[in-house]
Chain A
């Protein structure tokens, strides 16, 4: 392959631009996914009191303020060297479960599901939540609305505000859960379990029950044998709020297991000249480029990754689904755990298994005798100066890292958000789609746009927060360039 000059197009501005470079034979040499630059987040935070961070970082993005609020609050626990009482940790986890139920539900019905329910070749104008409701039935639509409403109410009740929560404090949570609130949350959790089971049944019928889609999911279209990252509890079961970060290799063997506070020993960030977003990779393996395999430092942190790092799920029905998932992909246990599934389209199924897990876990927490304990806060007594906290956000492991002076005034801030973890993997999936549909100057235009969109949707990139903002629109632009970087063709679809 000739060296590809990317000088003419370094750091293009704009949302969601895909740059595909061809070699001199017209075959795909490289594919890049550009994201817009946003500036000044660290400067915006430095000089503020650290305790403001949970209510600042939750404004970065209107999509997952809950996850930022929790990661930030956990970073403050460490910065102020205070361990919250058990009840506070449970309330925080309960809050995260209600958030997961609404976020995963919305993703499936509005974003991920349409590819399967309407088919990947359906016109873009129909491939949305309206199309899903027309196909699956009005009742499903009403259920989605009801699910969002009841969980938004739980988030408001626990978090103190409906969108930008305020209850997280270093050392705990600002208010205990009353018995009346607990009863309501318990009832909502039961409805969530029924709804998750209903949704898994829809997935069974429309995807697994359809040989063409089953083949699509299990095909090598977006098959990447990478490392995986997720958070696990003491039994190596999935935990979405707290535990140790576990990384497994492409065979499923444990590669690393560490507290979030040690993330810099395991993760480094690679910079490419054509994008402002950094590519995190496994430090011990080093950056070997955009490729998979055991020698490459590329890893992935998604719902699929989280199942791949877990030995099992701690709730009964989700565990049944977990077993069925690996069985369907022909995986059999090796040394007590299932080898990873590398088919990235399976992320949609993994997300629904997490939906069921979150609903079941919400019920467990809502019926925990300690959940109404008034002991939800320990007052910080000193400033340690460094605080690193992480939670599993729906789109991947979210890490907040703050450093302060002795008065608690911030000196440095770094965030690694869910989407950033997956930036290299996303670029690889886009390249895979391009390779299949471009040969010489023959380009299957509509197919290319569809396949690239499918890749993006399965990761559900939060470009907003990966670059610390919220773009209102994201038209997809695919530029094809020759080996000199000259634009051959530009394909465009409005977002």
Chain B
């Protein structure tokens, strides 16, 4: 089963980069085990959909802002929910759900299984190459969750 883990975000916008940082960590952890690809994606919508083409399963990691959310909280979201992470949509083309349906209609092979991990961001309005402290602490948490999800599925022989 071809799997891709995708980190999404702006690498120079403080907590907005949490998905990018987490996927880099996942890539390091996975170095030894083959069969799982990792990617960094910087905009949502069609670009994100295209990054998933050719895989059976995709795991996305992005920042999220929820009303009253505590920075550093880690969520696993169902794809079909009403949520939007910071980069699921591109304001210049399409929402992720529309992009996925469009891709399938146009004949791209897109993952049957997509799971989304999101980290509540603190600051997504200041340029900077460092995460804020609570979000930094969430990185190992989300990385461990993603690795566990990868392992459990491989262990199940799927």
Give me the interface of A with B, judged by CB distance under 8 Å: 36-41, 43-44, 56, 59-63, 65, 106-107, 110-111, 128-130, 133, 138, 141-142, 144-145, 148-149, 152, 163-164, 460, 462-464, 468-474, 495
Contact = CB atoms under 8 A, between A and B. Distances in A.
Top 6 closest pairs, chain A to chain B, by CB: A62-B43, A62-B42, A472-B86, A44-B127, A110-B93, A141-B106
Given A111-B92, A472-B44, A59 B11 contact: yes
Interface string B83-116: 0111111111111001101110111100000000
A469 B13 contact: yes
Nearest to A132: B102
A56 B12 contact: yes
A128 B98 CA distance: 8
Contacts of A133: 102, 105-106
Nearest to A464: B91
A133 B10 CA distance: 30
A36 B11 CA distance: 19
Given A59-B42, A128-B95, A142-B106, 10 more contacts: A38-B125, A41-B127, A62-B41, A107-B92, A110-B92, A111-B92, A133-B102, A148-B46, A149-B50, A473-B84
Contacts of A462: 92
Given A39-B127, A148-B50, A473 B91 contact: yes
Most buried by A among B50, B86, B99, B127: B127
A38 B43 contact: no
Given A36-B125, A145-B108, A469 B16 contact: yes
Contacts of A148: 46, 50
A110 B46 contact: yes
B91 A40 contact: no
Interface of B: 10-13, 16, 40-47, 50, 62, 84-95, 98-99, 101-103, 105-108, 124-128
Contacts of B50: 145, 148-149, 152
B126 A62 contact: no
A63 B94 contact: no
A264 B96 CA distance: 41
A59 B102 contact: no
A472 B92 contact: no
A145 B94 contact: no
B105 A130 contact: yes
Nearest to A44: B127
Contacts of A164: 42
B12 A111 contact: no
A454 to B, nearest CB: 15
A163 B102 contact: no
A44 B88 contact: no
Contact of B126 (A40, A63, A471): A40
Most buried by A among B11, B13, B101: B13
Contacts of B91: 463-464, 471, 473-474, 495
B98 to A, nearest CB: 5
B89 A495 contact: yes
B84 A470 contact: no
Contacts of A65: 42
Contacts of A39: 125-127
Most buried by B among A59, A62, A145, A463: A62
Most buried by A among B85, B90, B128: B90
A40 B89 contact: no
Contacts of B40: 163
B98 A130 contact: yes
A107 B91 CA distance: 10
B27 to A, nearest CB: 16
A44 B46 contact: no
A7 B105 CA distance: 50
Given A38-B125, A138-B105, A163 B98 contact: no
Given A128-B94, A128-B98, A462-B92, A470 B13 contact: yes
A474 B90 CA distance: 9
Contact of A468 (B106, B107, B127): B127
Contacts of A41: 127
A36 B16 CA distance: 15
Contacts of B90: 62-63
A130 B102 contact: yes
Nearest to B92: A63
